[in-house]
Structures are given as structure tokens and as C-alpha cells.
Amino acid sequence: MFAPHGGSLVNRLLQGAQRDALLKKAAGLPAFTLNSREASDLEMIAVGAMSPLMGFMNQADYEGVVSNMRLANGTLWPLPVMLATKPGDDGSKWKVGSEIALKHEDGTILGVMKLESNWKPNKQKELTECFKGDEKHPAWDYLNSVGDCYLGGPIEVANLPQYDKFNERRLTPAQTRAAFAEKGWKTISAFQTRNPIHRAHEYLTKVALEQTDGLLLHPLMGDTKSDDVPSDVRMECYVALLSKYYPLDRTMLAVYPQAMRYGGPREAVLHAICRQNYGCTHIIIGRDHAGAGSYYGTFDAQQIFDGLKPNDLNIQTMRFEHSFWCKLSGSMATTKSSPATPEQRIFLSGTKVREMLASGIRPPDEFTRPEVADILIAAYAGQSKVGV
């Protein structure tokens, strides 16, 4: 395994007497309630998944990231990790140098932040530089939903957000690293997904398994778009697929708690950094990784890694072409492995599959395993809007 990004695994989660003292202090501080994305980011920072970040970005780090994908000290970092005021809050009550109690939406005190920066960012620049987007991009929905000031500084955490599902799979980077070591895995490929795994994904992950000791299936379980498949449905699909079609001694399934940014190339780099922190040595980067609409080129998320400096990242990318069902061979393939003509290739779009599921039609075996199709059809029968 490689060292974490930045050299060491950050731990901002306090225990014992230190935790008790932090909670006591927080009770007397001005309170700031985090939204769901900010709570996810706090968790990722606290357990070291976002190493080397020690808290929400201050102004110098934010401006460096937006302009050139670098923290103020020159360390590679592709996307802002911000705490924003609420709409209508002009930020004047949050004084630089003061401390703020950070609360969950359920009222639980999560931790304390020492405020280093309070500023009004250029959101339009953030949108265009980080997301290559306009006001129809999903990133703008979020940027437009929060207030006009950003607050930044290091955090100390007493409580992580609590969840009512998948808790046994919410492994920290320290825990995944320990599990890999126990299994004797020296090379580990990570697969990032926010969707159920279809046959193309299965193909990519099994090619990766041929080259590494183990596979970490690491589905994103933070905020996603409203038309993405709900997390409980996706998890049911993952468990069903792994239990029958993968070697369980060479696979792990764990929750990745980050919220989706739909940042294409830059988000691919973020996913790689965080997976390095979890102990992975390789990450699968396929077609349109973290994409949204037509904002990014099909393989932009692969090509961005070619522009990084040699020492920026240790984790290696495993890059794949657009895979398809090859009628000629009766299996999954890409243009690198199959001589099939366009007429002999089956590409099924998410839109087409959604239409089929909404009509109660089973997707063909060329797209997904029957066990996964059963779960998705059942989900569509009980919900009016589910994405693939």
C-alpha cells in the first residue's frame, strides 16, 4: 500500500477526555448547522479520507484549488471542500479567530471549527473553472442553494454523523488499510460508482481483479442527483452481485460517504486521492467518470491524469475504453479486444434502460445480471422516479 496523500493519515476525531472537553466547549459556542454535503465532508475529513485536509478550506487553499488544482502549499487538490453560510446570512457574525460549534441537522454537536477565513467567493468562477459548467450544471444547483460567504478553518470532531443503514460497511481509511493488510493484499483496485453495477462495470472490475490482489467496491453513498438510484436499492444490487459472481475472498464492499459533485475530470482526481487514502493502489477510470450531461469529453477524466506532476499521486489509474456486449464473441469487450463491427456491438443507454424498467420490462442479460434486474424492477414498481 502507498502512504496517504500528503504523507500521513489525518485523524481529527477525538476520543475520551479530549472528546468530552470538546463537547463541553462546543456547548458554549455559536452554533452552525451543516447541510448533508457538509456533514459528509466533515466525516471524510475527520477520518482521514480527505487527507491532508485538516478542516474546511480557508481562502488561500480555496483560491489555489479553483485556479490551479493546488492547495496553498502546492499539494494537488482538485475541488473545493467548503462550509457555506445559509442563504440570507451575510457572514458578518462569524468572526475570524473565533470558534464555531458545528451541528448536524438533527441537532447533534459534531465538532468545533477554528475560523481562519470568512470571505465571499466568486461562484461563477468556481463553476466554470472546476466544473466547466453553466447554470444548468448540477454543481450550480448546489452553489445556488447555499449562502454567499464561505467559512474555513481546521476542525476537531467529537461525533460523526449517524446513519440508520449500512453501518457495518462504513469503514474508515484506517480500517480498510488494516483489512487489506490482514488479507495480505499488496495491490488493491478501487471501483467508484453511484449506480448499480451492470455488465460493463462487471467486466471492468474483473479485468482489474486479474491484475491486482483485491478489489474494493466503494459505492458513493452521499448526496446524488434525485434521479440516481436510491442507496438502499443500489446496496441490495451490490450484495446480490458480489455473492454470486465474484470471489468473495478477493473482494470488499464498503461505503464511500462523500457527496457527488459531478465534476468530471477534477472529481476523478478527487476520487483517486481519497482512494489512495483508503489504501488502494489502483483506481478504475472508465468512460465519462463523474460526468454530467455533455459538459466533459468521454475520456477527459482519464486524460487529466496525464497532466499531473510525477510526484502528485501514488495511486495508479486503470483506464478502460467504452465496453459493450459483443455479439460476435457473446461476451463483454471493448474496441481493444474485439473486432466486432458497430452492428455487432450492443450499447444500452441509461435512458433506454430506465424506460424498460419503468414499463416493467426486464433489461436483457447483455446489460445486467438477472438478480440485479429483479431488484431494479421491484424498485421501479414501488417508486415513480429511479435512475440508472
Tell me which fold the domain 168-320 belongs to: Rossmann fold (3.40.50)
| pLDDT above 70 (res 383) | no
Residue 164: the pLDDT is 87
Residue 362: the pLDDT is 85
Q: What is the pLDDT of residues 110-165, one digit of tens each?
A: 999 999 999 999 999 999 999 999 999 999 999 999 999 999 999 999 999 999 88
Q: What is the pLDDT of residues 369-378, one digit of tens each?
A: 999 999 988 8
pLDDT (average), residues 48-62? 98
Annotated active-site residue in 19, 70, 195, 362: 195
pTM, 2 dp: 0.93
pLDDT band at 228 (very low <50, low <70, confident <90, very high): confident
Annotated active-site residue in 37, 170, 177, 194: 194
pLDDT (average), residues 332-349? 88
CATH 3.10.400.10 boundaries in the chain: 16-157
CA distances (Å), 221 to each of 43, 235, 299, 337, 359, in order?
A: 12, 9, 24, 33, 27
Amino acid at 362: R
Give the C-alpha separation, 89 to 91, whole Å: 5
Residue 386: the pLDDT is 45
pLDDT band at 8 (very low <50, low <70, confident <90, very high): very high
Higher pLDDT, 75 or 368: 75
> To the nearest whole percent, how much of the chain has pLDDT over 70?
97
Residue 196: the pLDDT is 87
| Out of 66-75, 97-106, 167-176, 341-350, least confident range | 341-350
Catalytic-residue membership of 275: no
* Interacting residues of 300 by C-beta distance below 8 A, sequence separation 6+: 264, 265
Amino acid at 263: G
CATH 3.40.50.620 boundaries in the chain: 168-320
Second-level CATH architecture of 16-157: Roll (3.10)
| pLDDT above 70 (res 217) | yes
Selection from 359, 352, 336 nearest residue 388 by Cα: 352
End-to-end CA distance of the chain: 33
Residue 387: the pLDDT is 44
Residue 285: the pLDDT is 95
Catalytic-residue membership of 194: yes
Residue 63: the pLDDT is 98
Q: What is the pLDDT of residues 275-316, one digit of tens each?
A: 999 999 999 998 889 888 899 998 999 999 999 999 999 999
Residue 350: the pLDDT is 61
| pLDDT above 60 (res 72) | yes
Average pLDDT value for the chain? 93
pLDDT (average), residues 52-57? 98
Residue 55: the pLDDT is 98
